[in-house]
Amino acid sequence: LEKTLILIKPDGVQRSLSGEILTRLEKSGLKISALKLLHVNEKLAKEHYAEHEGKPFFGDLVSYICSAPIIAISLSGPNAVEKSRSLIGKTNPLESEPGTIRGDFGLEISRNLIHGSASIDDANRELKIFFSENEIIDYDKSTDSWVMEL
Ligand code: IDP
Ligand code: MG
């Protein structure tokens, strides 16, 4: 089953939006396959955001992600990557549709509340940064056949 990495960023946790954000993602039918609260250090932040190294916002992005605890989540389900990106909205909250997480709760690109992997390859790379293999759990729910045509 496809998996994606979600991070509720420091502003999401500080603003007590963790529950609201997770509720929206979970209600889509995507299944929580791992979850933890952690305080990211600089090394881990730079590894996660390696593709942005050298960009003007890189330093601020790393300090933002390291500024307070985050919640890392693995979500599983059909098209988990694309579905969660659509629930999250565009990178800039100003361009995100109402009804998306960033569109409803964010104002600025540098405080956009949540990360979601952009591709399946990114998801597999990023999940390894935040979770060991035995922390990601595949399990059945009695509602699976009501969410997916098995
Ligand atoms: P994404 O999170 O929607 O995939 P990316 O382009 O991968 O967006 O950028 C990663 C993160 O870097 C964004 O979520 C945002 O926190 C930050 N970021 C991206 N572009 C800018 C910018 O122009 N100014 C400030 N921060 C930015
Ligand atoms: Mg990205």
- With 90 as the cut, is the pLDDT of residue 56 above it? yes
The ligand 1 atom at the shortest distance from the C-alpha of residue 9 is: 16
Tell me if 61 CB under 6 Å of ligand 1. Answer: yes
Query: What's the pLDDT at 148?
Result: 95
**pLDDT at residue 150, rounded to an integer:** 84
**Relative to the CA of 88, which ligand 1 atom is closest?**
3
The per-residue pLDDT for range 9-32, each reduced to its tens digit, is: 999 999 999 999 999 999 999 999
Catalogue the long-range contacts made by 101-110 (C-beta closer than 8 Å, 24 or more residues apart): 101/21, 101/24, 105/12, 105/15, 105/17, 105/20, 105/21, 110/57, 110/60, 110/61, 110/64
Percent of the chain clearing pLDDT 90 (strictly above): 99
Convert the pLDDT of each residue in 73-105 to its tens digit. Answer: 999 999 999 999 999 999 999 999 999 999 999
CA nearest ligand 1 atom 20, residue = 109
**pTM for the predicted model, two decimal places:** 0.98
Residues bordering ligand 2, an ion, CB closer than 5 Å:
118
Ligand 1 atom with least separation from CA of 64? 16
Alpha-carbon span 65 to 86, nearest angstrom: 22
Give exposure, 112-124, as e/b (b: 16+ Cβ within 10 Å): bbbbbbeeeeebe
Ligand 1 within 6 A of CB of 86:
no
Question: How far, in Å, is the centroid of ligand 2 from the Cα of 117?
Answer: 6
What distance in angstroms lies between residue 5's CA and the mean position of ligand 2's atoms? 11
